[in-house]
Chain A
């Protein structure tokens, strides 16, 4: 307790005169094609984007690209033939470590951000926070109409949403720690495929 009081007293004695928060200094760019900008940014950071009209195209994609995936998990009910649904089974009761052998995870996510290629997802959709990291490969699905221009808009949508954990994901896990050579697949997922669906597809 005394450390806290000492620190606060030192700050109170040393802090500068009040400075106001800035208002309206910065306005995000607007008037461009959100989907294109989003795709451009996701691709830039090592992800791939696919525009589809029906969800079954994802099944097709999985059988072509992940033929040897054994354990697949999803939160999208239309994909229950492809993988285990996160809801309504005992996955909830498992400890996160038991997800260690997940090959592919497919998640519906609420929205994406064009200026960063980032996709927002919270723990109520994940059930296990570690899922998008521990899985070998990750697929995220967003509606085209959910793409917002800027992080500023993103946070005004998130507003005071009460999540326990939320994350912006913008690509596969990666590193350039060895001689600045980009290597995809550091500790998290080895790939990220983003599917953009038309507004009414699911």
Chain B
């Protein structure tokens, strides 16, 4: 299997596309900044969300039980799945029980994590993804490359070719309006004829037994409200204590994701509609183990906004697929080694540890610290990825050493001033395909020493 550096190298061959990818995600990041700066009390909002999530992790079992009891009272059937296989089997059994062999699905990174589509296809079930970006990548037999923007690695010409092949749109017409309309027509037909809809869950409220699904397209609602059977799949960590906590999280989610004040639709599902069956699957799949890892349990606070990806200099220039895991980017690189350290040993190294992810994270996960800690775990376990070893030695001495790299206050200035140089340095394995910048005035070593002595003098 190719590792992150090798996959990034392939992505980096198309320079124009990489630049476009980089700039587009940076644009999304700046929209997030604008929204955050405009919002009075943003830092207090983040702190509140972070503390609520800490509370959730420390009471996860009782909140889950409370949620289950209330959901059952509301007429929802609750299932528990220890791992991906159990989750997939539950979905399949429901399909079989109702003799349904085709279904719609709105965005759910959890089902990506569980490889549900492959499993169901294997069992003769047709699954149609209804989020536009997900539909595009599904036609192309690719996984999503971003948790919020699944087709961000593609250009409109790619989409045009794909739609020409699968939906019969005019060859060469790559107007996004035209292509979106074609998908709308195609999926409307689908929504009207599918009996089962699966959605993800953004938040599940322990106090009321309801769950909230956020979309801009309205695809989750179109699917769920027309289907006889609604299955919602959620990771255990999606629980929040009270309905009022939604006031905190809905304010953070869309602003962090795309800079919008809120998603177009924030749908609260509390009871099935008349004649409908509603099921919810609570999925562990490694989460209870991660909860026991003191250094990494905070990653379970993630609300999947994607901000850490949009801001990450490595993600932006290596593309989501280089992470070879359902959730890419900085947060994915913390979650994946928990599930399989050996297979994902390269991912915590796919970072400059610049700390930008930590700065934007709406629930204040110490993302870059955790990446650094995973590196130590991985090296200790003897899994250090070969292609990165030499470069990493230098990088980890310079960038990640807590002494040199002080996270607080000065960090941002430090990164902005010095990271561009470091990032383009030959030692950095993600930039192999890039032209080397003009030779820096001083060598890396000299720069490092100068910087270190400067810092030492300052302190």
Interface residues, chain A, with chain B CB atoms under 8 Å away: 3-4, 6-8, 10-22, 25-29, 41, 44-45, 96-97, 100, 115-118, 123, 128-130, 133-134, 150-152, 154-156, 158, 160, 162-181, 183, 185-189
Contacts and interface: CB of A to CB of B under 8 A. Distances in A.
A165 B291 contact: no
A41 B262 CA distance: 9
Contacts of A4: 80
Interface in B137-188: 149-152, 154-156, 159, 176-177, 179-181, 183-184, 187-188
Contacts of A187: 130, 184, 187-188, 191, 217-219, 222
A20 B289 CA distance: 22
B291 A45 contact: no
Contacts of A171: 264
A154 B52 CA distance: 19
A178 B156 contact: yes
- The 7 A-B residue pairs with the shortest CB-CB distance in the complex, in nearest-first order: A188-B218, A14-B292, A177-B133, A130-B225, A10-B288, A186-B217, A29-B40
B317 to A, nearest CB: 17
B132 A177 contact: yes
B292 to A, nearest CB: 3
Interface string B256-287: 00101111111111111100000000101000
Contacts of B271: 164-165
- Looking at chain B's contact residues, the main secondary structure is helix
Interface residues of B, number: 91
Contacts, number: 255
A181 B260 CA distance: 14
B61 A8 contact: yes
Nearest to B35: A44
A98 B297 CA distance: 48
Nearest to A37: B261
Contact of B222 (A11, A118, A134, A177): A134
A189 B218 CA distance: 8
Which of B130, B149, B224, B247 has the most chain A CB atoms closer than 10 A to its own CB? B247
Given A8-B65, A29-B41, A180-B24, A100 B58 contact: no
Contacts of B18: none
Given A123-B273, A129-B221, A186-B180, 14 more contacts: A4-B80, A22-B51, A44-B260, A45-B261, A116-B261, A129-B273, A133-B221, A165-B270, A173-B265, A174-B264, A177-B180, A187-B187, A187-B188, A188-B221
Contact of B221 (A115, A130, A172): A130
Contacts of B268: 163, 165-167
Contact of A167 (B177, B184, B251, B265): B265
Contacts of B261: 41, 44-45, 115-118, 170
Nearest to B177: A183
B132 A186 contact: yes
Given A165-B273, A167-B268, A186-B216, A133 B136 contact: no
A156 B188 CA distance: 36
Contacts of B241: 21
Nearest to A174: B216
B45 A169 contact: no
A102 to B, nearest CB: 12
Given A15-B291, A117-B261, A187-B218, A22 B48 contact: yes
Contacts of A185: 180-181, 184
A41 B38 CA distance: 12
B149 A177 contact: yes
B59 interface: yes
Contacts of B284: 7, 10
B309 to A, nearest CB: 14
Contacts of A150: 247
Interface string B192-236: 100000000000000010000000111101101110000000001
Contacts of A118: 261-262, 266
Most buried by B among A15, A44, A178: A178
Contacts of A45: 260-262, 264
Contacts of B54: 16, 19
Interface string B292-332: 10100100000000000000000000000000000000000
A167 B39 CA distance: 23
B217 A7 contact: no
15 contacts: A3-B86, A4-B80, A21-B51, A28-B40, A41-B261, A97-B226, A118-B266, A166-B270, A167-B265, A170-B265, A178-B154, A186-B218, A187-B130, A188-B219, A189-B218
B4 to A, nearest CB: 24
B225 A128 contact: yes
B28 interface: yes
A185 to B, nearest CB: 7
Contact of A11 (B45, B151, B288): B288
